[in-house]
Amino acid sequence: MRLTALLLALTLWLPGATAQTDYNLQVVATGLNHPWSITFLPNGSYLVAMRSGEVRRVSREGKVSSPLAGLPDSYVASQGGYFDIVLDPEFATNSRIYLSFAYGTSKQNGTRIVRGVLRGNSVEEVTPIFTTSPLKDTPVHYGGRLQFLSDGTLLMTTGDGFEYREAAQDRFNLLGKIVRIHSDGSIPRDNPFADGDQGHPAVWSYGHRNPQGLALDSASGRIYAHEHGAMGGDELNLITPDTNYGWPAVTKGINYSGAYVSPLRSAPGVAEPVTYWSRSVGTSGLTIYTGNSFPTWRNALFLGTLVDEDVRMLRLEDGEVVDEQIMFSEIEERIRDVRTGPDGLLYLLTDSLQGKVIRVAPDAVAISARRGEHSSKNRSDEQNSAEQG
Amino acid sequence: MTKTLTAFVAAAILAYLLGVVFISQGNIASVVGLGFDVTLSQRLQAVVHDATHMLTIYLPLVAASLLVGLPVAYGIVRNKPQLRMFGYMLAGCIALLAIHVIMKVTLGLSGIAATRSISGLLAQGIAGAAAGFVFCKLTQPSVSD
């Protein structure tokens, strides 16, 4: 893979003015084979997990490492490969990372989480901590997003495997669910079905199709997830435990053949989405922006779209979407992941054989120009006052 | 020629409509099986919805499959009048089954969700057989022929 230390040379300076905020898009690294997720190391570099079944370290300047050694093989086919990568909340002291990926074979595959210790360019003490069951024979709809909660437990989304949609309503299996585990893979005692009588102990919520966006609003404790619907049924949901999100019995989407999945668009006991897209946009990646670089974006939800090739900024009030802005469509690429960096900037991954890490930074030129304009206006006002005086 | 063309159009439309009804009710059966109630009016509305929304995808597939299957049947049974009805019905059945088998083999996934089960798949075969029946009846040689 070509290293891209030419950050400045490659920096794509595209001043924009979306949502009344000036920004520029900096291509940090390119040539990444279907990057799926990005996480941020304390030293300022990034780990990028790719569907091609490898994780690479990317420096802030854009230098791309060779693949990290020590990670397991993945079942790389269709939608399968490496998915999400996150750091342990205590990473500073234990150097642990967690990776979700497609595990198994064409006949028996599922979503697995491993954890290991990051040392240099390798991962050691790699241990599987969780694998979905039952295994399936389709290379699609894995879910795979990870999110640590403030209590140290870990959520993971799982997909319905496409052919097994009804399984999403079966609380005893792990297809089409959001599961919650401890960081060692054990099951928290306060999970809704922890005793196993009414469902699998790992199940946190159910009735999902293929959720590939998961984020925690650390201020409110709210958990948001979005999922790929069938045609016209992409949803953003507020996730609460022991909640049925409907798929496939209740959905706003229809089959790609044109037929109903179900004639039910709502039903008692089924949570309504916060919002949905009546024309599928292909939601992927989700972050709640909490940085300081873009004050007007604070607390907004950002999610990428694979079909529309843009980013959506959603503003929520009292649990309802009050504004949706289309952003960064000038990139003209499928957006796989959207994250807020610890530097307060927004990071995007584009989905292709030549996938990119793109950093969204305040547009310094525009800002200084605006300040200059402001200063000259002030000077002009002062001059006018002096003349009038 | 006009008679054959009319018979083919009638057969294709019948296969499509019957196929859609089976798909629609198959999907609803799956929802009901999950413990949700679906009213009669929702069932009827689903059929109307599906029949209008699958027109551009499923009707061409049905027509194309019958366009292959029925002429093949004609070639086989034209000198065997005693097998005429059976041949056309079998051809229609295989034609519609072939749509779903080919989709499953090439995509690795079921293009039509209701055909994931054997009963759902066979229901499409019945729709094809019904099309063969109608085609056979409408192209029945008259006494003067």
User: What are the pLDDT digits (tens) for A259-272?
Assistant: 999 999 999 999 99
Chain B residues with CB inside 8 Å of A252's CB? none
- Domain membership of residue A15 (yes or no) is yes
Q: Tell me what pLDDT residue A287 has.
A: 98
- Amino acid, single-letter form, for residue A376: S
**Mean pLDDT of all residues in B71-98:** 95
- Domain membership of residue A277 (yes or no) is yes
Q: Which of B32, B34, B116, B117 to mutate to test the interface with A (most CBs of A within 10 A)?
A: B34
Q: Domain of A291: which CATH number?
A: 2.120.10.30
B117 touches chain A (CB under 8 A): no
Residue A33 has pLDDT above 80, yes or no: yes
| Minimum CA–CA partner of A137 in chain B | B108
- Domain membership of residue A1 (yes or no) is no
The residue among A205, A273, A270 whose CA lies nearest residue A242 is A205
Q: Which of B16, B27, B59, B115 to mutate to test the interface with A (most CBs of A within 10 A)?
A: B27
Residue A91 CA to residue A55 CA, distance in Å, equals 17
Chain B residues with CB inside 8 Å of A176's CB? none
Task: Find tokens 């922006």 and name the residue.
Answer: A289
The mean predicted confidence, pLDDT, of chain B is: 95
Residues 83-112 in B contacting A (C-alpha not used; CB under 8 Å): 108-112
Show the domain range for A287.
7-388
B53–A259 CB contact, under 8 Å: yes
The beta-carbon neighbor of A262 closest among B27, B108, B112 is B27
The answer to whether residue A141 is catalytic is yes
**Contact residues, chain A to chain B, C-beta under 8 Å:** 78, 138-140, 162-163, 165-166, 169, 248-250, 254-264, 267
Q: Tell me what pLDDT residue A171 has.
A: 98
Number of structural domains, chain A?
1
In this prediction, residue B144 has a pLDDT band, given cuts at 50, 70 and 90, of low
- Domain membership of residue A2 (yes or no) is no
Residue A113 CA to residue A105 CA, distance in Å, equals 16
Q: Which residues contact A84 (CB under 8 A, 6 or more apart)?
A: A36, A37, A49, A98, A99, A100, A144, A145, A146, A156
Domain locations along chain B: 2-138
- Domain membership of residue A162 (yes or no) is yes
B108–A138 CB contact, under 8 Å: yes
Q: Tell me what pLDDT residue B142 has.
A: 74
Phi, psi of A271 (to 5 degrees): -70, 140
- Amino acid, single-letter form, for residue B20: V
B24 touches chain A (CB under 8 A): yes
Q: Tell me what pLDDT residue A2 has.
A: 44
Count of A–B CB contacts within 8 Å? Answer: 80
| Minimum CA–CA partner of B50 in chain A | A259
- Domain membership of residue A152 (yes or no) is yes
Q: Which residues contact A184 (CB under 8 A, 6 or more apart)?
A: A115, A129
Across-strand partners of A48?
Answer: A38, A56
Residue B117 CA to residue B123 CA, distance in Å, equals 10
B20 touches chain A (CB under 8 A): yes
Contacts 24+ apart (CB under 8 A), A110-116: A110/A134, A110/A135, A110/A136, A110/A142, A110/A174, A111/A83, A111/A142, A111/A143, A111/A144, A111/A156, A111/A158, A111/A159, A113/A146, A113/A154, A113/A156, A113/A181, A113/A185, A114/A71, A114/A72, A115/A88, A115/A183, A115/A184, A116/A70, A116/A71
| Minimum CA–CA partner of A259 in chain B | B50
Q: Tell me what pLDDT residue A69 has.
A: 98
The beta-carbon neighbor of A257 closest among B31, B33, B57 is B57
Tell me the two tokens of residue A308: 């529309």
The mean predicted confidence, pLDDT, of chain A is: 91
Distance from chain centroid for Cα A111: 16
Across-strand partners of A362?
Answer: A23
Phi, psi of A211 (to 5 degrees): -75, 125
Chain B residues with CB inside 8 Å of A138's CB? 108-109
The 10 Å Cβ neighbour count of residue A16 is 17
Chain A residues with CB inside 8 Å of B50's CB? 258-260
Residue A372 has pLDDT above 50, yes or no: yes
B36–A257 CB contact, under 8 Å: no
Q: Tell me what pLDDT residue B101 has.
A: 97
Tell me the two tokens of residue A282: 């292909």
A203-206 and A243-244 beta bridge pairing = parallel
Q: What is the ipTM of this complex?
A: 0.92
Phi, psi of A232 (to 5 degrees): 80, 30
Q: Please give the DSSP secondary-structure letter assigned to residue A72.
A: P
C-alpha distance from B79 to closest chain A C-alpha (Å): 39
